[in-house]
Amino acid sequence: MLTRKQQELLGFIDDRLKADGVSPSFEEMKEALNLRSKSGVHRLINALEERSFIRRLPNRARALEVLRLPEAMMGAMAAPAARPALKLVPSPRPPVQAMIAANDTITVPLHGRIAAGLPVEALESDRSLAVPAALLGPGDHYALEVSGDSMIDAGIFDGDYALIRRCEDARDGDIVVALIDDSEATLKYLRREKGLVRLDPANSAYEPQRYRPEQVRVQGKLAGLLRRYH
């Protein structure tokens, strides 16, 4: 059974997809459900995905697919007054092309900036990044722009684009995107130490960060890097 907020979000996504074929942005979902932060949207999306009501489409920005609706919502479709009323805002952008065959690149979502120093919020955005297909293996990927210098000894510099393969598990020593308290994300080495999760920098000027296991969720592992030269 879905919570009220989960049902409202599922209905909002379903309405948007039927209206213009594009799923709403995280900012639009936050406003429609009157949530205080995008981290609440992330939690709802993850819950719906775990229950197989939606799925993320690989290599596409803002791409969600509704797999099914609960029986309660199917009944609400026959009686519209029973369905939660949410503001439906026209999407400002068309769907992003998943692959660009002409130069063998793949377009992946670019989700804001991530700290390679102190944690900062990893912001959802509508931008995308064209990545050489050879840099990516199997799986669903996204990109984050690196901010900070705490991973420079691992060859990761401020302004680099970190290419991340989505996953929820990692081994000790993997470089991961770690979501802390469902609100802040950071790029660090993952270690487990005496019942705690330790996030290690690759710069002696920074100290490791230690958290209780329930505070940290792995959002993906580093798959590659892109760097611009000015």
> For residues 175 and 165, is the Cβ–Cβ distance under 8 A?
no
Token couple for 181: 């308290």
Question: What are the structural domains, with CATH classification, of the chain?
Answer: 4-82 (1.10.10.10), 100-226 (2.10.109.10)
User: Whose CA is closest to 59, among 155, 125, 133, 156?
Assistant: 133
What number is the average pLDDT over the span 58-77?
A: 69
Looking at 112-121, 127-136, 144-153, 183-192, which range is the least confident one?
112-121
Of 123 and 40, which is predicted with more confidence?
Answer: 40
Q: Is 188 a known active-site residue?
A: yes
pLDDT 10s digits, 80-103: 444 444 443 443 433 333 333 334
> For residues 130 and 100, is the Cβ–Cβ distance under 8 A?
yes
Distance CA 3, CA 141 (A): 29
Q: Annotated catalytic residue: which of 150, 194, 204, 221?
A: 150
- Which whole-number Å values give the CA distances from 55 to 19, 47, 95, in the listed order? 19, 11, 16
Choose the most confident range, by mean pLDDT, from 41-45, 89-93, 215-219. 215-219
pLDDT at 2 over 80: yes
Q: Annotated catalytic residue: which of 37, 188, 204, 221?
A: 188
Confidence of residue 74 (pLDDT cuts 50, 70, 90): low
Task: Provide, rounded to the nearest whole percent, the portion of the chain with pLDDT above 70.
Answer: 78
Q: Is 23 a known active-site residue?
A: no
